[in-house]
Amino acid sequence: MTMIQLAIEPPLYFQWNEKPPQWQLRGVITGQRTARVCNVPFVIGRGLDCRLVLPDTQELRKTTSRWHCYIEGKAGRYWLADGSYDVIPETGVKKPSISGTFCNGKPVKEPREIFPGDAISLGPWNFKVEEEETKSFCIDIDDALKITQSGRRATMKAKDLKAGAGYKQLHELFLELNKLENIEECLARALSFAAGKIPAAEISAILLNRPGEAPSARLAWRKGKGRVADLKFSPSLLQQLSVKEPFFLAPRISHPSSGQNLQEITSALLTPLSGGGSRLGVLYMDNRGAKTAFTEDDLYLASAVSGVISLQLMAERQLFLGRLEDNLRHYFSSNVARRLAAEAKAGKSPQLEAADKTAAILFVDIQGFTNFCHAHKPGEVSGLLNPYFKLMSECIHRHGGYVDKFIGDAVMGVFQQAEPWDEPGAAGSPALQAVRAALNIIQAWRANSTSGWGRPMPLRIGIDAGRVVIGNVGFPGRLEYTAIGDAVNIAARLQKLAPPDSIALSDNGRGLVEKEFRCEKIGVRGLKGFGNIEVWIVTG
């Protein structure tokens, strides 16, 4: 099967991340000129879940979408399509890119077959389609890992003069790291620095431990040749070594095995990487066929380089967790986002399974929106909806809730009962939070309506509270984090009964908020599926 890759011209390069498996486009000198199109659909965009992640700045968001385009492949043939591959949860449909995708200068309106030599353009980026290079440099370090188990462990004291000398050599490295733009480039520079300063270091690699997963190679470097495309090793061998001491030294191998003879391995050195009170992994080095072997002095410099790499890895982890929490806040309340980020930091899988919870549900829509759509062009409709959705979401989040979904012009907000792990300030009645948000919504919409069609179009809001099921619902191919239950259905029906710019409650909802808000009964109404119930509105 013919494989393809995307090529980019300097000063831009591609960088490969193992976790998650994806390419990133960066302006770095240590990256690769080409990115293999792997694991189709190969989605390209600013989204962190894309196979090729493009740079994300306020300016680039004007021309590049989160999920800008994608490549599909089957039986050695590839097709390029514009827009998102998956249906967008907010709209229920696939979304086209913000500025279009072009192949050989022509817009891609329908999936188009692509071939080596084609040029793909999106936003400010230009890629060339190439047939994948068949040669790749591969290194297997299993033999070295086996022999190091019988090597000598070495400890170091902080007051040792050699330790200080090792750290003094880092001044040159720090000056270079200060000029680099990202962590991937810093890690590559640290490995190349170690290879240059330690004569015996032919192969250098960062091998990482991840909770619940087998160790994996983060980055590998070969002296004089650069990045190693494919570093092979047995994770179980690395786990058996248990590199917990400050340093581990395997002196020159006097009786190499046949496998070691094949790879010309003469000695190896491993030092632990640690941070945040836990072991992050190992800095691995070995020597292949050279006359030199690792020495005691090499331990001290390797120790210092390990410290630099550990700091970079911790900075990378904190940056990722910060971005993760920021992204989660778009979909969950701040407390849920904080809990999920904490679980990710601890190496736990996010707990999003459906569970029975207490929550208040808010539905809001624009009265007369259907007639508005009939009378106006699509661009005018989106000009009303986009600021409306933004304002509704801000008000809901401001009062401790999160947006579950958009349904046409309707917005569904969820205010969940505080959990034991939430901050003390998050405690409170979900129904009260929902009413506060609803009043804020009406006030903000009146003050900030950007419809441009005379007076602000009135809103209708319905709220109910009770036990609901919240979590992932669906099947493995299509999951949605949502709330389901009577309170959801009642709130949706109350919203349709609410007078303009009013908040409708059931008798149950009124009982939960009457200590803070005045309510007025507007009569008994029939709710489909629930019979006749008393309907109240919030008056102050």
Q: For 58-115, write each residue's pLDDT tens digit.
A: 889 999 999 999 999 876 789 999 999 988 766 778 899 999 999 999 999 999 999 9
Q: Which of the four pLDDT bands, split at 50, 70 and 90, describes residue 137?
A: low
CATH number of the CATH domain containing 302: 3.30.450.40
Q: How far apart are CA 37 and CA 39, in angstroms?
A: 7
Q: Which of 76, 110, 131 is the last residue of a domain?
A: 131
Strand duo 125-131 + 4-7: pairing: antiparallel
Cα–chain-centroid distance for residue 102?
A: 27
> pLDDT tens-digit profile of 197-220?
888 888 899 988 876 677 888 888
Q: Which of 131, 152, 182 is the last residue of a domain?
A: 131
Q: What are phi and psi of 340, to 5 degrees?
A: -65, -40
Around Cβ 347, how many Cβ atoms within 10 Å? 12
Q: How far apart are CA 331 and CA 314, in angstroms?
A: 26
Residue 431's pLDDT is what?
A: 94
Q: Which of 271, 305, 320 is the last residue of a domain?
A: 320
Distances (CA, A) of 136 to 228, 346, 514: 8, 35, 71
Average pLDDT over residues 493-513: 93
Closest to 252 measured CA to CA, from 269, 237, 238:
269
Do 164 and 37 share a domain, yes or no? no
Do 266 and 170 share a domain, yes or no? yes
Is residue 414 in a domain?
Answer: yes
Q: Which of the four pLDDT bands, split at 50, 70 and 90, describes residue 148?
A: low
Average pLDDT over residues 328-349: 63
Do 521 and 374 share a domain, yes or no? yes
Q: What are phi and psi of 12, to 5 degrees?
A: -90, 145
Is residue 105 in a domain?
Answer: yes
Is residue 204 in a domain?
Answer: yes
Is residue 494 in a domain?
Answer: yes
CATH number of the CATH domain containing 470: 3.30.70.1230
Do 296 and 353 share a domain, yes or no? no
Whether 158 shows a pLDDT value over 60: the answer reads no
Q: Which of the four pLDDT bands, split at 50, 70 and 90, describes residue 327?
A: low
CATH number of the CATH domain containing 124: 2.60.200.20
Which tops the pLDDT comparison, 416 or 18?
416
Do 146 and 237 share a domain, yes or no? yes
User: Ranked by mean pLDDT, which of 74-88, 223-237, 347-361, 418-432 comes out on top?
Assistant: 74-88
Which tops the pLDDT comparison, 243 or 481?
481
Whether 7 shows a pLDDT value over 90: the answer reads yes
Q: How far apart are CA 374 and CA 316, in angstroms?
A: 50
Do 226 and 123 share a domain, yes or no? no
Round the CA-based radius of gyration of the chain to a whole number and report it.
29
* Mean pLDDT computed over every residue of the chain: 80
Do 388 and 471 share a domain, yes or no? yes
Question: CA-based diameter of the chain, in Å?
Answer: 94
Structure tokens that stand for 530 in this block: 């629930």
Residue 139's pLDDT is what?
A: 74
Beta pairing partners, 272 = 282
Q: How far apart are CA 220 and CA 282, in angstroms?
A: 12
Whether 537 shows a pLDDT value over 60: the answer reads yes
Total of domains in the chain: 3
The HSE-up count of residue 363 (CA atoms within 13 Å, CB side) is: 23
Average pLDDT over residues 264-272: 76
Mention every residue, 6+ apart, whose C-beta is less than 8 A from residue 327: 48
Do 416 and 471 share a domain, yes or no? yes
Domain span at 35 = 4-131
Whether 532 shows a pLDDT value over 60: the answer reads yes
Is residue 157 in a domain?
Answer: yes
Whether 145 shows a pLDDT value over 60: the answer reads yes
Tell me which amino acid residue 319 is.
L
Residue 261's pLDDT is what?
A: 46
Do 448 and 391 share a domain, yes or no? yes
Q: How far apart are CA 52 and CA 23, in angstroms?
A: 5
Residue 1's pLDDT is what?
A: 45
Q: Considering the entire predicted model, what is its pTM?
A: 0.48
Closest to 81 measured CA to CA, from 93, 92, 95:
95
Q: How far apart are CA 127 and CA 116, in angstroms?
A: 11
Do 182 and 122 share a domain, yes or no? no
Do 114 and 145 share a domain, yes or no? no
Is residue 528 in a domain?
Answer: yes
Q: Are 341 and 321 in contact (CB under 8 A)?
A: yes
> pLDDT tens-digit profile of 159-181?
555 555 555 667 677 777 776 65
Is residue 466 in a domain?
Answer: yes
Closest to 72 measured CA to CA, from 107, 116, 37:
37
Do 94 and 170 share a domain, yes or no? no
Q: What percent of the chain has pLDDT over 90?
A: 30
Beta pairing partners, 348 = none
Is residue 55 in a domain?
Answer: yes
> pLDDT tens-digit profile of 13-53?
888 876 677 899 987 555 688 888 877 899 999 998 899 99
Whether 135 shows a pLDDT value over 60: the answer reads no
Q: Are 413 and 362 in contact (CB under 8 A)?
A: yes
Of 35-44, 74-83, 280-289, 449-458, which range is least confident? 449-458
Of 125-129, 319-323, 491-495, which range is least confident? 319-323
Mention every residue, 6+ apart, whose C-beta is less than 8 A from residue 514: none
Residue 352's pLDDT is what?
A: 65
For helices 296-328 and 183-197, what crossing angle results, to 10°? 180
Which tops the pLDDT comparison, 361 or 138?
361
Q: Which of the four pLDDT bands, split at 50, 70 and 90, describes residue 451?
A: very low
